[in-house]
Amino acid sequence: MTANLDTRLAPRQRLARGLKYSTVGPVDVTRGVVGLSADTAAAIATGLRKRYQSGQLRRQLAAAAEAVAALPEVLQEATAPEPKRCHRRLLIAGVAAAVLAGGAVAFSIVRRSSRHEAPTPLPPSVEVNPKP
């Protein structure tokens, strides 16, 4: 704040000062974000340059180039028809069905054995046919 607080601002001056600070704030924020982004990009570029110079990135790029060169062969192998394994799939499906059926039977047996037969029903505690 200024040293002369006793002087009152005119409405025009007050408006100019408010607009100045309302526009300077977002500009400062934007300049800060851009500055941080630039510093981060510079740090990343420096790190990549050091890795490339050490040879680690160079080896990775060579391996990637070899992988890309071998890609057509890999795609042909992947699209080649595989021998049908229908019998194996049927066997797996049969085993799964048997396991599910066995589980259902075991569940029903356990469920029945856990039910206790209720003794003969007790007579109702209230009259079934109320008197008029």
Is 121 a residue whose pLDDT tops 80?
A: no
* pLDDT one-digit tens code per residue, 21-52: 777 767 677 777 778 888 889 999 898 888 77
pTM score of the predicted model: 0.31
The full 3-state SS of the chain, as one line of letters, equals: CCCCCCCCCCHHHHHHHHHHHHHHHHHHHHHHHHHHHHHHHHHHHHHHHHHHHHCHHHHHHHHHHHHHHCHHHHHHHHHCCCCCCHHHHHHHHHHHHHHHHHHHHHHHHHHHHHCCCCCCCCCCCCCCCCCC
Residue 117 or residue 110, greater confidence: 110
Taking the domains of the chain in order of start, what are their residue ranges?
12-75, 87-116
* pLDDT one-digit tens code per residue, 41-100: 999 989 888 877 777 777 888 888 888 888 778 777 777 666 666 788 888 889 999 999
Is 132 a residue whose pLDDT tops 70?
A: no
